[in-house]
Structure 1
Amino acid sequence: MRFAFRDTTADSTTFRFDVASQNDSDAVQVRLVGRPVYTPRAYTVTGSVVDTATVVIDLPEPVDPERSRLEFSIGTTPLAVLAGSYRWLAVYPFDCSEQISSEMLPLIAIYRAGPVAPLTGLTTERARAEIEQGVAVLSGRQRPDGGIGLWSAEDWTTPWLSAFAGEALLAARDAGIPVRDSVLARLSNYLYRSAHQRGTIMAPIASWYSNLHVVLAEQVAAADFLSRIGKPDLPTENELYRQVAQLAWEDRLRLAQMMARRGARGAARQLISPIWASVRVEGRRAVLPDSARRSSWFYFPSSQRPVARLLSATLVVDSTNALIAPLVETLVEQARGTAGGWYWNTQDFGAAAAALADFTARQTRAAQRGYEVRAGNQVVYRSRGDTLREVTRPLTGAVSNVSDGGQRVVLNVRAGDAATSAGVPLFFYVTVHEVPRQRPVTPDQQGIQVERWYEDYETGKPIVSVTEGSLVRVRLRITVTADRQFVALTDPLPAGLEAVDLSLRTTGQLPGPGATIPETPTEAGEGEGEGEGESDYYPWGWYYGSWDAGWWSPFDHKELRDDRVVYVATVLWTGRYTATYVARATTPGTFVRPPAHAEEMYNPAVQGRSDGGVFTVTQRAP
């Protein structure tokens, strides 16, 4: 028996069927859970508090406060993100000096964190033993002139390479690992001479020194080590400051740290302020300008070092800067994808660990003060210095109406006794996951643009109505204005449609995603998931993505479910991407057409949705 009905409920629908005869009667009642006609959107604010701070989040549309969620987090130790990568951090005595130094820095950071960042299979004793081994190998590679050779004491070196090895030795010494004073003294003398007695570099990379950026980078590295060890070379630092316009992006940050260490905070701010201004905050994450990553780097490239350098410099120059929490989250989010460790090199691990170690120590001290979060007169959460944690609760009582028709969430965060930690700021994240009161129909773009339309399978013409039993081509287009990571694209199906699995034999004769009429002549040949332009558009080729019915897609994973189709991409580079699938109209009726939604899974405030509306399936003529 088929009958028409209208569903006006929010969460579930109840059907009751009564039957009766002259003498008997019976009834059956069935409750069916309804699928929401929306995908919750997230709004995130990051901040810090020394004494008190006010957090304001504006919501563009009225929300259901009982079902919407408020999330307040000061996070766990960021060093925990390195836990799954321990096998890539082990010190091997046959590695080159750069690799050993990069392996030592994360181990030292984890060793100093102690029980805050436990690693499976890595005890404190084992970590110390590996660090001691690294110290012994680097010390044994010190050349007669004081530099650290690449492979041995007889091998070539440069000021940058020796300074990097020296940074690992200094970090080990600060962690309580014995390092001979004579090794550090000879290394200091070598680096001082390299800045003041510039001679010919006898190395396979000698041709690089015709580039002024390389020459200045060597001087920055030497001066940075001398500053760290407590013997600042002020003439070299001043000369580098005079030539700041010629310095590479990362070298300006290192110079800012040197200036801050010697107390010249005005000069340090002058160096770093233009860099701060060029960084965008999207959700919980910081997005660096192209100039930070495009600069050609000699020696060892690193995709994470620019973020780590900026975090380290910001902690030194302005420990309350609002960019600190987003920079930490950027490193943490990118490290989440390195469980296999294969696309982070040793420079990535070393730079990230050194920066996160400093932040972790500060955040742990700040959390020990305790803090209180209030929404009006309500206490959302109160900590008395216990373990760092995340708190989630309904928005009930925390939302107020504003004149433009939207709503606002206002929180007051108050830190505990500042005297117990010398006023160290506590960094936090506040996220609202909204559940709207009204069914959304308008598109929204918060860092990701999503478009979706339906086509007649035979003609390719756009449709919002189809006859029962017909096939429908569903097309999705996603546009990102910056590189995005771990993106989930979800397309809820109108209840009258069902996705067709082309991998099944019963439907395998249908053409694949590329064998359809293109939307415009310029998109001819564009298959499912392909970006605009040539196939070599993608910086990493086919390391990411998957093959779908003979067409390459940037989405690594695809799921066809009863009520939705889901695509997941590890990385989407700046550009436009498409996806398409086939659905069949199975049930006549007028159905809600929920918006398609995309978001970064670990940074959901970067999101977007398509328009919504109604889709009609008409009954097939008998």
Structure 2
Amino acid sequence: VFDAFAKRNISAAYTPLVLAQGLSAYLADFPHRCTEQLISQGVPSLVFAAHPEYGSLAVDANGKPVKPASDPLQGLFAVMHSRQNNEGGFGLWTSTPQSHRFASVYAMQFLIEAKERGQRLPGDMLDAGERYLMQLAADESDGSLDGLRERAFAVYLLTRQGTVTTNYLAAVQKRLDDRHTKIWRDDLAAGYIAASLKLLKQDREADALIAGPQAKLTRSTIENAYRFQPYSYYGPLVRDAGILYLLAKHFPERAKALPPAAVANLLRPVQRGWYNTLSSAQVILALDAYATQAAADGKLSLTEQHKDATSAAINAQVGALVRGPFSAAATSLKVDNGADLHAWYAVTQAGFDRTPPTSELKQGLEIIREFTDTDGKPIKTATLGQEIDVHLKIRATQVDSIGNIAIVDLLPGGFEPVLTPPSAPEDAANGDAANTDASTNNAQQPAWRAPIGVTGSNWALEYADVRDDRVVIYGTAQRDAHEFIYRIRATNAGSFSVPPAYGESMYDRTVQARSLGAKIEVTKK
């Protein structure tokens, strides 16, 4: 990587919360912004606000904390408020008439955590969200384990807010017993119900029910694959983090007695790179709940080893957390622990490749890009002011379908996207609209409309983010190739290199694709 822009840092502490540093860096650099991802990116700011010894999440080239120019949480609350609909739920990308169940419950967990930590929230957002939670807690429409887990999550959050949820808990538990009797007591759903019972002072029932999830967390079997289920936002790492969080928050005596295997099981997939935005945030919340005050200060030291067998002390920030940058010359790093206590460490590296990619990448996904004129004829040159079409062909290569795919297409330097204004709702000109009541207006809340795209596209676009230098589209890749077409306009004359288009699964980091780069020339008329 380019050394001038590289970031290399090592941290160590007597609390596992230090391990959140690397996940925080991953979240800070994540480029996509659905409601789940936006909230997950806010979790480190929320957690580290209560741990000033960890400093800011951002560090400069010397490893020193950089204070943000403004409060990131207040900006996040404003965006969340804009995505909340009339019934109190949240849309996945924008405010939509139909709430996204998981995103809505997850948003409420974040808001409740923020309130409990003393954050200032927009006045009506929490109250509206509670109304949605009550609606979901009573919703019998989804009897799947995923749907009942979301209901249990909603009931747990209502219980934390002081609502007496005895009837809700009985209804959810009955559905779980009726439909998933053999598996639900090891699921995170059982953890939510157990925590709710604990809050309601039903200790015996709570302790009996939390035993199954706790046994799952402290298992001795090592799983070789951590398959995340993107449509249900669930997987082994999310489960383990959720169980540790609930144990530490509501069953502190059980949390203190956990064997080392509990944290080891939580961290194993992180070490292997099997994490995403949601699981990263859940791990940070779990480690925060589990962490205790540092048992010793000033007894950890950091050293970097060099190829010529020399070593150099790393100039580290001293305190409950020791942290500092290491150089490009380091071949290994050493953490010296001067106390008879367990310590944790984390190493993060980031930067820009010196050599740009020159070949295609196909790891479970394939992207092919082509430029044509508006009649569909392939071109390599255009005239100033001409509009041309960009064809992106997308397909899954290993499975029949992959959801939550993001395709990032960087624009050539001399082009701008041609926006397609959304069409007006059919009833916009209806003269009787003023006579409709409030409930009708709520139901007519407009759905999101794509700002870009032309006739001929057959890829099911779920959302598009058009920026100055790129177009980012989101959807599902199928085994058969599907095509998305959008239009760009030449604004400058010259010869331009076109970076490769890049695609990835936002929740499975092993699925990636990259097209070939290209060149295009723009001539004056």
TM-score by length of 2: 0.48
Report the structure number with the largest CA radius of gyration.
1
Q: Which structure carries more strand by proportion? A: 1
